[in-house]
Amino acid sequence: DAEITQSPRHKITETGRQVTLACHQTWNHNNMFWYRQDLGHGLRLIHYSYGVQDTNKGEVSDGYSVSRSNTEDLPLTLESAASSQTSVYFCASSEPGLAGGEQFFGPGTRLTVL
């Protein structure tokens, strides 16, 4: 069965360190998204990609970057982790060209920045 996975599931890091969160999907979807979820804010879009070599900034992109070298993976990098980036991060994918198409979410990564 197709799926979307994230790793690690939990991560503790220190302020200033670079951190990369992995996202891998086997749906063969061109659209991929990264969100963060915080109490009182819901899911907020960080970055998204419509295909290989395409990346776009979302609502809360400062301090984050992504790269898309193949269809399956969209890693999220925190260039210099800050305590404000402590959150739960979700990756999602969807089928392009299908207006209203559902997004398929990964299980999430809980990141703590000390």
Nearest residue (CB) to another protein, 40 versus 70: 40
Instruction: Confirm or reject binding of residue 99 to another protein (CB under 8 A).
Output: yes
Please give the C-alpha separations between residue 24 and each of 39, 53, 74, 76, 93, in angstroms, as whole numbers. 26, 16, 7, 11, 10
| Binding-site string for another protein from residue 8 to residue 47, where x marks contact by CB under 8 A and - marks none | -----------------------x-x-x----xxxxxx--
Q: Which is nearer to another protein, 48 or 113 (CB)?
A: 48
Would the CA dihedral through 21, 49, 41, 100 be positive or negative?
negative
